């Protein structure tokens, strides 16, 4: 594997530099004095920000963009061998790194790299930890999978020993990391276009945990089924949190305000209790917060700092994000694209004031839709009314013979109220004709369904 010498900056080229993670890594390298270039399909606020920092960006991916003066090319799992720049990289015999390998090498430059993993909740928990470290003046370097308002972006370059990042299991990316502190929030079936089954996924998380050195720490949810299989054989310190009072951290007495924000009693095993309040909704965020508190305790951060950080954290973009109102209809946008995430979001919405709960759902990938069809139907049936958009293909092509109409039929069989509309324009028209003052509308999915709510608010 090509090794970057951070003491001798070189020329790094990013295929797909405009992605939320790739752009962030490019920004860090620019700050470290590297020459950065790359390509993307079209301009965006992220690419424009990089250009202001003297990155050279090509719009349109062409073989001619790559030149022999490039020292190393970085690409993601979304880039396939038939990509013209990838093919040119091979032809020119340029050294290469995956995004995860680059991020792993970056982590080695910090004394305290912290990696947050799990099927769900990575961005929110990473953001909570970031807020705590910022509030405590720890001057961290941050790499977040969403836009955090406190830093007006997804990247912050600090000067301390702390580096905080998300650790995604897809394509085993997180096995290229070097965490001193690792967090595992949950482990469920997902990304079945890559993993064989849940046991394959659990094995990858076990390998991730095994990356933590003997003088490091794993913070893990004890609610993960047979979680001790994941921690078996580890030499690092293990801290647990979860619903069981036998966990190192547990909670009780959860209550909600009028906007579904929870207050809960945190119980530290052998260390007393403390009340915390959140400005993000839902019980699932109580558990995300417990993981963040466990980390803060490990770093000896005072409860007053933790609570102040929580009180200033209202979520990241696309995580139960309030967008506005039209005709008295509240519009929320959420990134949920897995049945467990949908269930958590819709249960949180049940505590939010509304007459009827509408969910505009855009399924994400054919593989996931086919694998979890009954589970999607059950989760979405928590809404009073479901409107389905076409499946967002992302990295896939339709070879499975699955469509949103199949999901509609499954929801109707489960007793839910559901319609399928083939275009965002049709969905917007239907919403305006059928939602009433006092209703709550959630646009949901990992694709571009956010545009529906944004277009409605422009009318």
111 is catalytic: no
> Distance (Å, rounded) from C-alpha 313 to C-alpha 301?
17
Q: What is the CA radius of gyration of the chain?
A: 22
Instruction: Please return the burial class of 149, using the count of CB atoms within 10 Å of its CB with bins 0-12, 13-18 and 19+.
Output: middle
HSE-CB at 446 with a 13 A cutoff on CA atoms is: 18
Compute, in degrees rounded to 10, the torsion defined by CA atoms 309, 312, 316, 321: 140
Selection from 186, 273, 194, 260 nearest residue 227 by Cα: 186
Give φ, ψ of 156 to 5 degrees: -135, 135
Catalytic residue among 123, 165, 171, 316: 123
410 is catalytic: no
123 is catalytic: yes
Other beta carbons less than 10 A from residue 438's beta carbon: 13
Selection from 283, 249, 256 nearest residue 124 by Cα: 283
Catalytic residue among 166, 189, 321, 341: 166
> Distance (Å, rounded) from C-alpha 315 to C-alpha 278?
10
CB 407 within 8 A of CB 323: no
Looking up tokens 């409860």 gives 303
Selection from 172, 174, 208 nearest residue 191 by Cα: 172
Catalytic residue among 27, 85, 119, 122: 122
Q: Which residues are catalytic?
A: 122-123, 166
């Amino acid at each position: 594997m090509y090794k970057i010498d951070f003491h001798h900056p070189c020329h790094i080229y990013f295929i797909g530099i405009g992605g939320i993670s790739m752009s962030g890594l490019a920004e860090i390298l620019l700050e470290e004095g590297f020459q950065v270039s790359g390509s993307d399909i079209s301009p965006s606020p992220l690419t424009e920000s990089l250009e202001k920092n003297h990155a050279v960006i090509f719009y349109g991916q062409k073989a001619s963009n790559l030149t022999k003066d490039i020292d190393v090319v970085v690409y993601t799992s979304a880039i396939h061998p038939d990509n013209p720049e990838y093919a040119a990289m091979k032809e020119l015999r340029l050294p290469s790194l995956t995004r995860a390998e680059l991020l792993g090498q970056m982590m080695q430059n910090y004394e305290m790299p912290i990696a947050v993993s799990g099927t769900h909740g990575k961005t929110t928990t990473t953001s909570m930890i970031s807020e705590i470290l910022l509030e405590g003046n720890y001057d961290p370097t941050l790499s977040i999978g969403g836009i955090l308002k406190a830093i007006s972006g997804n990247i912050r370059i600090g000067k301390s020993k702390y580096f905080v990042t998300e650790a995604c299991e897809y394509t085993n990316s997180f096995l290229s990391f070097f965490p001193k502190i690792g967090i595992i929030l949950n482990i469920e079936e997902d990304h079945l276009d890559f993993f064989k089954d849940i046991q394959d996924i659990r094995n990858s998380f076990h390998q991730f945990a095994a990356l933590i050195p003997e003088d490091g720490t794993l913070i893990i949810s004890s609610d993960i089924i047979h979680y001790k299989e994941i921690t078996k054989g580890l030499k690092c310190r293990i801290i647990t949190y979860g619903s069981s009072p036998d966990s190192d951290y547990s909670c009780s007495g959860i209550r909600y305000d009028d906007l579904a924000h929870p207050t809960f009693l945190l119980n530290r095993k052998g260390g007393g209790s403390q009340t915390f309040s959140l400005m993000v909704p839902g019980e699932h965020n109580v558990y995300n917060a417990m993981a963040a508190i466990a980390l803060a305790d490990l770093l000896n951060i005072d409860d007053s700092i933790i609570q102040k950080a929580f009180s200033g954290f209202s979520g990241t973009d696309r995580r139960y994000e309030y967008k506005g109102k039209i005709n008295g209809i509240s519009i929320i946008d959420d990134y949920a694209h897995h049945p467990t995430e949908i269930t958590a979001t819709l249960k949180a919405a049940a505590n939010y004031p509304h007459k009827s709960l509408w969910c505009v759902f855009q399924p994400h990938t054919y593989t996931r839709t086919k694998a979890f069809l009954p589970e999607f139907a059950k989760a979405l049936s928590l809404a009073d009314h479901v409107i389905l958009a076409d499946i967002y293909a992302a990295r896939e092509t339709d070879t499975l013979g699955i469509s949103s109409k199949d999901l509609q039929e499954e929801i109707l069989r489960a007793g839910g109220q559901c319609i399928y509309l083939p275009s965002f324009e049709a969905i917007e028209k239907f919403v305006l004709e059928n939602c009433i003052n006092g209703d709550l509308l959630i646009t949901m999915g990992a694709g571009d369904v956010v545009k529906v709510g944004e277009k409605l608010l422009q009318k």
